[in-house]
Structure 1
Amino acid sequence: MELRHLQHFVAVAEDQHFTRAAERLLVSQSGLSASIRALERELRAPLFVRTTRRVTLTEAGRALLVEAERVLAQVRAAHEAVAAVQGVLRGTLAVGTEQCIAGVHVAKLLAAFRRRHPDVEIRLRQWGSAALAEEVAAGRLDLAFAYRTQADPDRLRPVALAGEPMTVLCHPGHRLARAGTPPAPHDLGGEVFVDFHPDWGPRRATDTAFAAAGVRRTVALEVNDVHSLLDLVDENLGIAVVPQHFRHKRAALTALPLEGTGEPVYETVALLPPAEAVSPAARALMALRDDADA
C-alpha cells in the first residue's frame, strides 16, 4: 500500500467526486481511478459506491478513512519534526476552536505564532466541542480549544485552560432582572431559553447543570453564534444561561449568577493528541500560550 494511494482515497472521500478530487490533486482522472482500483484490489473490498453524480463510502471505505487520515497525519508530523530538528518550523498548523472560548485569545495567539513561524501555514476551523474532539482524534486537526468532555486518553489529551461558573442573561425588563436575586435551575423551569446547538460547550455545560438539578428545560430558540443569542435575549424573547465571561459582551443585558450548580461548571481545555503524536507546530503554539500566561 503506497501513501499516494491513501492520499488519493482521502481526496475522493472528501470531495465525493473523482473529477473534483483529480483536479485538486493535479492528477488525471484515469490515474486517480486506477489508484483507487489498485487499493481496492489490495484490500479485497470495494471502497466507494459509484453513481453518475457522486461517490459515497462503503462500510469498508468508512473504516479505511479513519485509519488513512491518521496515517497521513503521522506522515506530515514526521516531515515537520525533521524540519524542526533542522531549526526551521514548516508545514501546516490546523487549529479548531469554539466561539468565544475562555482561557485563550485565539486570534492573538495565532498572530503571535505567525510572527514567530512565518513558514507555517495556519488553518482554522470553528465547530462545536464534540466535532472538534473527533477532528483532533482523527488527525485532521493538530489541536483544538474546546469545552471539557469525556476523552479517550489513547486518542486525546486535555490540557486545562480555564474554569468559570454559569451566568443567567436576561432583558432588564424580565421578572428575573426586576427581582435581582440569583436564580437556581429550579427557578427557571418554566422559562423560554435561547441556547446554542447541543454540540457547543456552553449548551453542554447548561444541560449538565440542569440535569444534575433534576430540572427539565426546553430550548425554543437555538442558534449557532454568540451575537444571535445576545440579540434574541436583548429583544426579551428568552433568557440564556452562558459562561460568566459572556456577561461583558452586551452591557445592556442583566447578568445574574446561576446558583446551586457548584463551581466551576464551564471548563475549557486544549485538546491534543497523545504526547508522542503532537506536531511540532502544535507544541510551538502551546509554548507560546504558556509564555503568555507566565
Structure 2
Amino acid sequence: MFVIPGMHMDHGWMELQQMRYAVAVAEERSFTRAAERCYVVQSALSHQIKALEQEIGIQLFARTSRRVELTPAGEAFVQASRQSLAAAERAVTDAAAATGQIRGTLTIGVIPTVTAVDVPHLLASFHAQHPAVRIALRTGGSEQFVGDIRSGRLDVAFLGLAECTPPHGVTTKELSRESLVAVLPAAHPLASSTHVTLEDLTHERFVDFPGGTAGRAQADLAFSAAGLQREVAFEAMTIDLILGLIRNGLAAALLSAHVVPADHTLSAITVQDAPRRVEYLAWNDFNPSPATTAFLDAVTLHQSQCAEHSAVPTGESPS
C-alpha cells in the first residue's frame, strides 16, 4: 500500500489509491464510470472518497442524484493529486531503470499525417524491446500537442508544421521536410498536368484541416504569402475523409505525397510554389522519464534502419 509521507491525518494516512479514485471521479464526472474505470464496485469507491473527505475535512465533490462536480477545493486537490501520482510512478520507474528495467507509462501524441516513420511498426518494435512500458496513444493536432508536452500531459509527440512556423517551448528532432502536392479527382482538367501553381488552384473548392490548426496553416500561409485567396468549403480531421471528398469530385487539397495512395481515382501533381511541411518528434528535455529516453533512442534506430533499407538497390538484400 502506498501512502504519502507527511500526509498523516487525524484519522489515518492518505493513500495513493484514494487519490486515484478522486482523479477518476473528477475526470469521469460519475461514481459509476469511475468505479468501472478503477475495476472496483461503486460502493467501495464511494466509501473511499467519503473517507478521504472526512480525513481532510474538506468536501471535494458536489453531488446530486444525477450530477457530480468538483468543488473549488476539489479542483485544487485533484490537480495536486495528479502531480503526486505522477511523482510516485516516476519514483518506481526510476528505481527500476537503475536496475536496467524500463517500465512506466509512455504517452505519445500522433497527428493524422505522420509520414516520416511507420508508427505501428515503431510501436511494435518498442513494445517488444520494453514490454513493461504501458503505451498510451493520443491523436490530435500539433499545436495542442506542444501545449500538452509543456504541461506534462504528453511525453512525446509527432508534429507536422509549416516550414516557417517551427515549434517553440519544446525540444525537437526534425524527421522529414517536404513540399505538399495538389490532389485532384482523376477527371479534373488539371489532372494530367506535370505541374501547377497556387494561382492555378485559386478557383478550386478545397478540403483542408479545421481553421486554426497547424495542418491547415501550411496551405493558408502559402496562399497568403503569394497574395492569393482560396475557398475552403470542407473541413475534416481524417485523411480518409479528405481523400473521399476529392475522389467524389467535391474538392481539391494540398497534402503530403506520402498519404496519397496509388489510386486511379486520384491525381497528385507537383506544385511549383508549394507549401513546405516539416515533421518533428517533440518532447520536454527537462528530466525525461526512462521510457521517454528509450523511445527517443527507438525512433533514431528506426530512422537509421529505414535509411539503410532505402539505400539498398532494387533486387538486392541488405547484408
- The answer to whether the superposition gives a TM-score over 0.5 is yes
Distance 1:168 1:69, change over 3 A: farther
Which whole-Å CA distance do the structure 2 matches of 1:157 and 1:279 have between them? 14
Asked if 2 retains the 8 angstrom alpha-carbon contact of 1:130 and 1:199, the reply is no
1:183 to 2:197 alignment = yes
Helix, strand or coil at the partner of 1:275: coil
| The one of 291, 295, 305 aligned to 1:285 | 295
1:16 offset after TM fit, Å? 0.9
Which whole-Å CA distance do the structure 2 matches of 1:220 and 1:243 have between them? 20
The letter for the 2-side match of 1:213 is A
1:111 offset after TM fit, Å? 0.8
Helix, strand or coil at the partner of 1:146: strand
| The one of 262, 270, 290 aligned to 2:281 | 270
Map Cα deviations across residues 253-291 of structure 1 (whole Å, 9 max, x no partner).
2212233356xx211111212331x22112111101112
Asked if 2 retains the 8 angstrom alpha-carbon contact of 1:69 and 1:139, the reply is no
1:121 offset after TM fit, Å? 2.1
Q: Which residue of 2 aligns with 1:166?
A: 180
1:7 offset after TM fit, Å? 3.0
Distance 1:267 1:8, change over 3 A: same
Higher RCO (C-alpha under 8 Å, 6+ residues apart): 1
The letter for the 1-side match of 2:174 is A
Helix, strand or coil at the partner of 2:279: strand
Residue identity (%):
32
Distance 1:209 1:64, change over 3 A: farther
Asked if 2 retains the 8 angstrom alpha-carbon contact of 1:70 and 1:139, the reply is no
> So what's the TM-score if we normalise by structure 2?
0.76
Asked if 2 retains the 8 angstrom alpha-carbon contact of 1:128 and 1:201, the reply is yes
Map Cα deviations across residues 28-86 of structure 1 (whole Å, 9 max, x no partner).
30221342565683xxxx76554432334466665665555445334323321211111
Which whole-Å CA distance do the structure 1 matches of 2:224 and 2:87 have between them? 40
Distance 1:83 1:224, change over 3 A: same
Q: Which residue of 2 aligns with 1:35?
A: 52
Helix, strand or coil at the partner of 1:284: helix
Which whole-Å CA distance do the structure 2 matches of 1:212 and 1:223 have between them? 24
- The Cα RMSD (Å) is 2.9
1:180 offset after TM fit, Å? 4.2
Q: Provide the aligned length of Structure 1 versus Structure 2.
A: 284
Which is higher, the Rg of structure 1 or of structure 2?
A: 2
Distance 1:170 1:57, change over 3 A: farther
Which whole-Å CA distance do the structure 1 matches of 2:184 and 2:70 have between them? 46
Asked if 1 retains the 8 angstrom alpha-carbon contact of 2:108 and 2:156, the reply is yes
1:133 to 2:143 alignment = no
Helix, strand or coil at the partner of 2:190: helix
Distance 1:139 1:70, change over 3 A: farther
Which whole-Å CA distance do the structure 2 matches of 1:57 and 1:215 have between them? 49
The equivalences for 1:137-148 within 5 A come to: 137-148=150-161
Q: Which residue of 2 aligns with 1:196?
A: 209
Q: Which residue of 1 aligns with 2:309?
A: none
The letter for the 2-side match of 1:168 is A
The equivalences for 1:79-90 within 5 A come to: 79-90=92-103
Which whole-Å CA distance do the structure 1 matches of 2:257 and 2:33 have between them? 45
